Structure 1
């Protein structure tokens, strides 16, 4: 396999016919060969002419001649009976595990409106897609590691590109966000919110919250068509002891991309829908231009800057990333033209070369490093304050004990003085009583019964 070829793979998923397509007379014009990873497209031929394209006016189709078939081979082909688990195992599982180990990875779903992109990426509650399965694998694998020196931190973001404007699906007030360069050859979306998550359930809660805000509209092909490109990003930081008292950090980034569907412009549609379709088609055209430039020998300039989508996905297309592009197609004759365009685009994308390498980061980009530094600083601060508090407490205790001793001494002195005062008072009272007694006796001794003299007799 050519260098870099293993880092960019292309899968095609052929969805089954929908219930409303079966009674409409549409033949299945696509056949999937899962053994040889081949898709065969049969060009439909009308028995009668049709004045316009519509569900009721296609006429009856006949099987084409062999000369009117086209065959395409890809890395992976999934048919109408392929389960969501099959899709995850063959298209996403290895990439998710690589991201846990510090690589960049991306899964990009592209294709016509109503061909199964959102179903493939997000799925339903009963049949979960790539995002919920990836979340389960990430936290299951992290939880299985028993290395006490290793620490993981997982954070997420969720954005949409609608009419060439970037908005934060998790913080609705953040709209028309700007793309900036990070100084290391990469880009980031300025002020896009990131949310630390602790388990798969928290990821799914964020997905549910953000998806409710995603732009949708009713189109000819889909009653709830996604009218924006959506990019859900999971960043996994792994920090472990570097053996020198520091922390070695790897940062893996997983982008899960659900592109808006390509669709023919409906001249009868309302102006808002026409504007949406126009912007979607221009964005997808620029996406195709980047793929074409990357796969054309001798081309040096890659027009990443021509659209917000290609600028954000710059690493995924020809950069430091392990990427799988899943092209989803509808099997019916009504969708034949878009199906052929998708198959041709996917065939060209097979020639993209990515060079993936582990992202080792010791800078402030690593949130876990920032957290560890802050924790260390706070612990040191706590230790210093705790130590100072102990010293102050001992000193205060000693002072209080000294004060208590002094109080006891003062109390003893006061009690002694009080005792002396009481004794003195008692003695004083005794003396006064004695004096009065003597005085009384003296006065009594001066009275002579029956006599009138007050001078008394001579003893």
Structure 2
């Protein structure tokens, strides 16, 4: 059989796989502890139950539930299987025997004085039965089993009236009690379970521990452990229940449904918790949201056939996990106070026994019954006579009560007749008064009819006036619609203008971008041309400088050549001059020596002059010197002219380059100025466009505000006029109705 439930014990999760149509839905439920199909009873007890048992010994009230569908193993979890042959515990022992053994082991280890009592209740078909009652309660006839009632304790809790609690001193005594009472539980055989529990069982262990305070004062600490084995939820079709068993299943499901409603109400923090809808929830009230610590063991089946009940059980347990109890340790009481309470309880039980014996509602214990058997046999006739007397007395009492009731009824009828006569007299007087009022009302009605006619006329006038106002309101609405149309037309024009401005702005931006690109390209081209010109000028200047240097070298060579020739000539001339000076000196000496002979001197002078003339004629020295000087001078002049021309050409070329450079710079500056002017112009245009857009937006906003204000004022005026007219009409109608009512009353 396929399984649809899987457990993750480490993460405390239960995964439910559900298929709806072709879709698979996985639902995950998270709990405090999860035990899979391979878990042992000892694992469950040690991890979840054992801590709660210890808390019971500390003075807390604790409740352990076993909840689930029929056949899921609730009773097995709570009770387990029987002991082994040697009396030792089986590994399958359930929660109850393990809890009992742990309690006694802890108490024996502490060597403390204690008392313990147990009780066992069964809830079947919303009736509570005490399974620890005397043997007379074990009759095979279910009608003789007398249910007991729940009573309020005045503190918000309940107690079971007449419930028997048996004192125990060992675990074996409790085991014997459980073995004896297990046969009394309501069980039937179903298709799901051969021995299915049909009732809820509540096994309670109450422990009183004697402790000593630090001052040495003796106190009593009380703890209570409730072990609840709930009846399983039943699917009538799958369990095979019919007729009476089906009704039992319905009662069980109804009780569990009430438990579910209580859990839901506690989780949702509802103001009303339906505890009183079921005796089970009344008994477990303190365990559900009260001062008791609670543990719910949800038993489920992994089979796909039980998926619906399994999901219901998981949802119940998941909701119950959210319930917040407020556990409190039971108050420690003095031994004297406890003894006093026990004496009071004994007195109360004695009174209940006496009362029940007198009323004969229950049987006395077996040993007393045997002792009083003879007395009952001897008193049978007396009892028969007593019964007849009692029946006669009852009949007499019934007749007396009937007589009294008849007399009381007669007195009541007489009183009613007198009251009716008095009322009749009053009615006659009222009728006379009404006749007088009727006559007065006739005249008043005539007056009111006249007033009604006047009121109808006034109403017609008001209606006409209202119609006029309505027509004016329609005209105003039409004007308003026309105004809205105009405003919408203006808005359309403004939107078109805005679109045109945006389009112009985009075109202008594109043209500006194009112009920027063109100017940048032109500036770049001019820079390139200027650079080429500068390179050409530099090359020309360098070539010119080289040529000039070559010419200067040639001129220097020529000058050196001429200078060497002139130097040679100067040397010759100097030599000639020196020779002539020597000759003239010789002549002068000869003149001085030979002054006697003037003629010789003259002759010598003439000869010298002729010699000098011939010499100068021969060499033409002076002319040659002058020629060479002139040639040198002309050469120097030509060289200087050439240098001057070269310098002038160089200066002119430098000035031309400078002028070209300055012209190019002026062109670039002018181009930049034009670009800046154009940029500033377009920037101004953009600013103007943004201002224009802003003005358009502000104008549009202002128009919308004015329109909204106009619309608001118009609506307020229209509403005010309408309310005023309606108020007037209503006031007139109310006045008219009031007058009509007054006239009718009159």
With the shorter chain as reference, the TM-score category is 0.5 to 0.7
2:3 aligned to 5, 28, 45, which one?
Answer: 28
2:175 aligned to 204, 227, 238, which one?
Answer: 204
Match of 2:42 in 1: 85
TM-score after normalising by structure 1: 0.67
Q: Contact between 2:219 and 2:335, CA under 8 Å: does it hold in 1?
A: no
Superposition pairs for residues 252-271 of structure 1, below 5 Å?
Answer: 252-266=223-237, 269-271=241-243
Q: Contact between 1:112 and 1:262, CA under 8 Å: does it hold in 2?
A: yes
1:333 and 2:304 correspond: yes
TM-score after normalising by structure 2: 0.42
Going from structure 1 to structure 2, the CA distance change for 1:296 and 1:364 (only over 3 Å counts) comes to farther
1:314 and 2:285 correspond: yes
Match of 2:18 in 1: 43
Match of 1:170 in 2: 132
Match of 2:362 in 1: none
Going from structure 1 to structure 2, the CA distance change for 1:163 and 1:372 (only over 3 Å counts) comes to closer
SS at match of 2:237: coil
Q: Contact between 1:109 and 1:257, CA under 8 Å: does it hold in 2?
A: yes
Q: Contact between 1:168 and 1:175, CA under 8 Å: does it hold in 2?
A: no
Match of 2:412 in 1: none
Deviation string, structure 1 residues 209-245 (Cα, Å, up to 9, x no partner): 1111000012221121100000000001112234677
1:345 aligned to 316, 329, 354, which one?
Answer: 316
Q: Contact between 1:96 and 1:134, CA under 8 Å: does it hold in 2?
A: yes
Looking at structure 1, the residues matched to 225 and 337 of structure 2 have their Cα atoms a distance apart, in angstroms, of: 15
Looking at structure 2, the residues matched to 99 and 366 of structure 1 have their Cα atoms a distance apart, in angstroms, of: 21
Match of 1:389 in 2: none
Going from structure 1 to structure 2, the CA distance change for 1:274 and 1:363 (only over 3 Å counts) comes to farther
Match of 1:142 in 2: 107
Shift of 1:363: 7.8
Q: Contact between 1:293 and 1:301, CA under 8 Å: does it hold in 2?
A: yes
Superposition pairs for residues 384-423 of structure 1, below 5 Å?
Answer: none
Bigger Rg over Cα: 2
Match of 1:280 in 2: 252
SS at match of 1:203: helix
| Greater percentage in helix | 2
Match of 1:292 in 2: 264
Q: Which has the higher contact order (CA 8 A, sep 6+)?
A: 1
Shift of 1:361: 4.7
Going from structure 1 to structure 2, the CA distance change for 1:235 and 1:369 (only over 3 Å counts) comes to farther
Shift of 1:265: 2.5
Going from structure 1 to structure 2, the CA distance change for 1:168 and 1:365 (only over 3 Å counts) comes to farther
1:232 and 2:189 correspond: no
Deviation string, structure 1 residues 267-310 (Cα, Å, up to 9, x no partner): 9633210111010011000000100000004x121111110000
Match of 2:404 in 1: none
Deviation string, structure 1 residues 408-432 (Cα, Å, up to 9, x no partner): xxxxxxxxxxxxxxxxxxxxxxxxx
What runs of 5+ residues in structure 1 fail to find an aligned partner? 1-25, 47-63, 375-459
Going from structure 1 to structure 2, the CA distance change for 1:184 and 1:245 (only over 3 Å counts) comes to farther
Q: Contact between 1:249 and 1:362, CA under 8 Å: does it hold in 2?
A: yes
Looking at structure 2, the residues matched to 372 and 277 of structure 1 have their Cα atoms a distance apart, in angstroms, of: 43
Shift of 1:44: 5.3
Match of 2:570 in 1: none
Going from structure 1 to structure 2, the CA distance change for 1:350 and 1:371 (only over 3 Å counts) comes to closer
SS at match of 2:34: strand
Going from structure 1 to structure 2, the CA distance change for 1:236 and 1:222 (only over 3 Å counts) comes to same
Deviation string, structure 1 residues 373-421 (Cα, Å, up to 9, x no partner): 99xxxxxxxxxxxxxxxxxxxxxxxxxxxxxxxxxxxxxxxxxxxxxxx
Shift of 1:169: 1.0
Match of 1:15 in 2: none
Looking at structure 1, the residues matched to 311 and 290 of structure 2 have their Cα atoms a distance apart, in angstroms, of: 27
| Aligned-pair Cα RMSD in Å | 2.5
SS at match of 1:155: strand
Shift of 1:180: 1.1
